[in-house]
Each structure stands twice: as C-alpha cells, then as structure tokens.
C-alpha cells in the first residue's frame, strides 16, 4: 500500500472468492487466442500489397495492414523479427498464396512510421476511463549478466500510460514516455486519443492535480472525477458556496474516513486497470524489444490492439461467491 491509510485494519479484510459462470465459452475463447487463422485474416490477405503511390517517392511493396499483421504475430507469439518472417512465409505457402514476405529489416524500418488502422469500440457509448502507468524494460543485458559482473548500472525502462474503459474492457488509449514523466501530465495526451465522451474518470493519488480537473472540465464537463486527494489537501476558496468535485471528496473523507469514501465513490473499481498491466505483462511481456523510440510507440499500440482483439473473442463472466 503506498499511503498506509488504516493499515492496521486492511489485512483483516478477507479476499473475495469469485467463480466463472461461462467457463465453456471462455475456454473456447482462450483456444482461439492461439489460432493462426484468427490473426491472419482474409482482409489482411486481400490488402497485403500496398496501393499504388500517387505522390513522389519510392513505391512500398507492402501495405500498412500487412506490416501490422506481421508485427501482431510477433507480439502475440513472442517471436524475433527473423522468426516472424519465417512464420509468415510458411503460412503463405500453406495457404497457396503468391504473396511476397516482408523481410526482418523491412519490418524494423516500417515500424518506425507505421499508420495503424483505427479500432472500432464494441459500443459507442460513454467511457468509464481508468488510468494508470507502469514500467516496461528496454532490451539490454540480462539480469544474470548484471549480477555476475557486479555492475552498478541499472537497466533502462520506459513508462507505459494506459486508459482503460471499464464498460467494454478495452484499452482505449496508450502512451509511452520516459520514466521521469509525471502521470498527471499525460492525461491530456490520453484524452486526445479518445473520441467518445468520458462519463467517469478514475485515477490514483498521482492524478490529484489542478491540470487534470481542468482538462476534464474543458473536454468532458459532465464527467465525474474520482481521484483521492492528498492527505494534506485543503478546500478551495469557494468550497462553502460552490464546492467543486475535489472539495466534495475532501469533505466526505473528513466526515466518514477514507475507506468509506473509497467504497461510496466507487474508487475501488480502479483496481481493474492494475489488472490490465498484469495481463499485459503476462501475455505480451514486461519489456520493449525494438531499439528506437518511434518503433517502440508502434510496438505498444500493436500490443494494445492485440489484447483488445483477444478480449473480443470472449471474456469471463465472473461473479462473487458469498
């Protein structure tokens, strides 16, 4: 726990037990996540070759969709670029398609400026936006080498910021920044990636900044902002006459306590975005494999799209067991 509020009481709260009620459908969805036919779609085959270029410059051989398909296979099946090239070549051969295979250098080069296709959400309704950040390691010396040679140099990493829609379960926004970037400063760039209205915004104490409330008020004035105020937070000058959302949070915490505020405000729902990071690092991995910042941005966007596609295949219907 980062803030240790009511730490003496928290360890007495029993962990809730849950049960999946649609296990057969979810079990089939888990199988489909490893299916090559799901990732290598008819649309990717039809649009494999690049459209004729009408502007000055060289003519690309492969469309953005072809490169995206290849990099998606690489991310899902944890392949190196050369192995990705071999996998695609074998699939095209088995399908009997007369299509050329992008080599590993082409995949690496095109990843730096790839235009990814837009993803359509399952529902166009308001978003319940949960935001958080986590670290992703950069490729470099392994932990064994660092321990063996006793070097004091720490492995570099980048910070991944995501916006998670609690309604659909989708990752609707993702950003990659340096590790010293403040979380609250990335709220506006995350909102830039979201077209639908935001109905609810949930974030941890790191998002308790004036700029966060201002950005949401300007772009989504009807949004409910649930962010825990700092322990030394004070009311605004207009709290007695026109209290804002932050003032109301401070007043409830002062009257009922922080745990009661978390329960009544729905702040505990924010734990779902932390589960997304666990899912990301289990399915995709806890590191970044490209060596340039431009390609790493593409790597993160493709990983988010792959996780969303997996979720569309099926998700567990989990209910709490009394």
pLDDT tens, residue by residue, 198-229? 999 999 999 999 999 999 999 999 999 999 99
CA–CA separation, 250 and 226 (whole Å): 11
> Residue 68: which of 291, 301, 313, 311 has the closest Cα?
301
CA–CA separation, 187 and 185 (whole Å): 6
pLDDT tens per residue across span 78-110: 999 999 999 999 999 998 989 999 999 999 999
- Looking at residue 156, its pLDDT comes to 81
Task: Specify whether the CB–CB gap between 276 and 171 falls below 8 A.
Answer: yes
- Mean pLDDT for all residues in the chain: 88
CA torsion angle 94 96 97 101 (round to 10): 40
C-alpha of 270 from chain center: 14
C-alpha of 198 from chain center: 17
Overall size of the chain counted in residues: 322
> Residue 212: which of 185, 234, 230 has the closest Cα?
185
Q: Count Cα neighbours of 295 within 13 Å in the Cβ-side half-sphere.
A: 17
Which residue in the block uniquely carries the two structure tokens 């992703």? 136
- Looking at residue 295, its pLDDT comes to 95
Return the exposure string of 143-176: e unless at least 16 CB atoms fall within 10 Å of the residue's CB, then b.
eeeeeeeeeeeeeebbbbbbbbbbbbebbbbbbb
What are the residue ranges of helices labelled H in 128-235? 143-149, 187-192, 210-219
> Residue 63: which of 41, 48, 82 has the closest Cα?
48
Please tell me the least confidently modeled range out of 55-69, 234-248, 258-272.
55-69
**In which band, very low, low, confident or very high, does the pLDDT at 16 lie, cut at 50, 70 and 90?**
confident
Please give the backbone phi and psi of residue 44, each rounded to the nearest 5 degrees, phi first: -65, -35
Angle between helices 293-313 and 23-32 (to 10 degrees): 140
What is residue 184's DSSP assignment? G
The contacts of residue 173 (CB under 8 Å, 6+ apart) are 161, 162, 163, 190, 191, 193, 194
CA–CA separation, 234 and 214 (whole Å): 17
Name the CATH topology of 124-288.
Nucleotidyltransferase; domain 5 (3.30.420)
* Better-predicted residue by pLDDT, 152 or 87: 87
Which range scores top for mean pLDDT: 15-24, 134-143, 145-154, 215-224?
215-224
* Better-predicted residue by pLDDT, 191 or 18: 191
- Looking at residue 121, its pLDDT comes to 66
Which residues lie across from 135 on neighbouring strands? 159
Q: What is the mean pLDDT of residues 228-244?
A: 90
The encoded tokens of residue 321 equal: 């067991």
Query: How many Cβ atoms sit within 10 Å of the Cβ of residue 84?
Result: 22
> Residue 212: which of 193, 229, 232 has the closest Cα?
229
Is pLDDT at 144 greater than 70 in this prediction? no
Q: What is the mean pLDDT of residues 110-121?
A: 83
In the chain, residues under CATH classification 3.30.420 are 124-288
Is pLDDT at 1 greater than 50 in this prediction? no
CA–CA separation, 204 and 228 (whole Å): 6
Q: Count Cα neighbours of 136 within 13 Å in the Cβ-side half-sphere.
A: 30
């Amino acid at each position: 726990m980062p803030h240790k509020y009511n730490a003496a009481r928290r360890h007495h709260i029993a962990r809730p037990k849950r049960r999946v009620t649609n296990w057969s459908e979810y079990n089939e969805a888990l199988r489909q996540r490893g299916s090559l036919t799901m990732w290598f779609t008819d649309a990717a085959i039809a649009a494999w070759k690049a459209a004729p270029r009408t502007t000055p410059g060289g003519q690309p051989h492969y469309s953005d969709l072809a490169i995206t398909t290849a990099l998606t296979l690489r991310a899902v099946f944890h392949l190196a670029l050369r192995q990705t090239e071999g996998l695609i070549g074998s699939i095209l051969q088995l399908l009997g398609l007369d299509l050329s295979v992008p080599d590993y250098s082409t995949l690496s080069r095109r990843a730096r400026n790839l235009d990814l296709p837009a993803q359509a959400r399952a529902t166009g309704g308001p978003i319940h936006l949960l935001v958080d950040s986590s670290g992703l390691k950069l490729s470099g010396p392994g932990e064994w080498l660092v321990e063996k040679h006793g070097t004091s140099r720490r492995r570099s990493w980048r910070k991944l910021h995501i916006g998670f829609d609690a309604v659909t379960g989708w990752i609707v926004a993702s950003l990659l920044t340096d590790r010293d970037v403040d979380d609250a400063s990335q709220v506006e760039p995350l909102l830039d990636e979201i077209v639908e209205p935001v109905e609810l915004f949930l974030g941890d104490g790191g998002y308790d900044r004036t700029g966060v409330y201002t950005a949401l008020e300007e772009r989504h004035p009807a949004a409910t902002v649930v962010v825990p105020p700092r322990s030394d937070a004070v009311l605004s000058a207009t709290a007695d006459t026109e209290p804002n959302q932050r003032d109301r949070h401070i007043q409830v915490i002062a009257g009922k306590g922080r745990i009661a505020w978390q329960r009544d405000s729905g702040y505990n729902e924010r734990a779902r975005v932390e589960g997304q990071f666990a899912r990301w690092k289990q399915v995709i991995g806890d590191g970044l494999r490209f060596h340039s910042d431009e390609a790493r941005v593409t790597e993160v966007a493709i990983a988010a799209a792959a996780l969303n596609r997996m979720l569309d295949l099926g998700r567990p219907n989990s209910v709490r067991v009394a």
